[in-house]
């Protein structure tokens, strides 16, 4: 029993390690997706504001 118990404990430890790696990869993927979506939303808003300011500058410059 002693030899089999050690082998079984090693296998269980390896299985738990791989499970943690898979869970970690899933969590990392979700985190990266959320971060990317937030970044793109902020970028879109900043781009809209920049275009409005450029339009205003063009309007002011064309009045001169």
Say yes or no to pLDDT of 4 above 80: no
pLDDT at 15 over 80: yes
Domain segments of the chain as ranges:
23-64
Q: Which pLDDT tens digit goes with each residue over 24-50?
A: 999 999 999 999 999 999 999 999 999
For every residue of the chain, which 3-state class applies, written as one string?
Answer: CHHHHHHHHHHHHHHHHHHHHHHHHHHHHHHHHHHHHHHHHHHHHHHHHHHHHHHHHHHHHHHC
């Amino acid at each position: 029993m002693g030899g089999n118990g050690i082998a079984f404990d090693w296998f269980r430890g390896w299985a738990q390690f791989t499970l943690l790696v898979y869970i970690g990869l899933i969590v990392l993927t979700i985190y990266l997706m959320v971060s990317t979506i937030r970044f793109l939303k902020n970028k879109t808003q900043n781009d809209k504001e920049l275009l409005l300011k450029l339009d205003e500058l063009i309007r002011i410059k064309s009045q001169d």
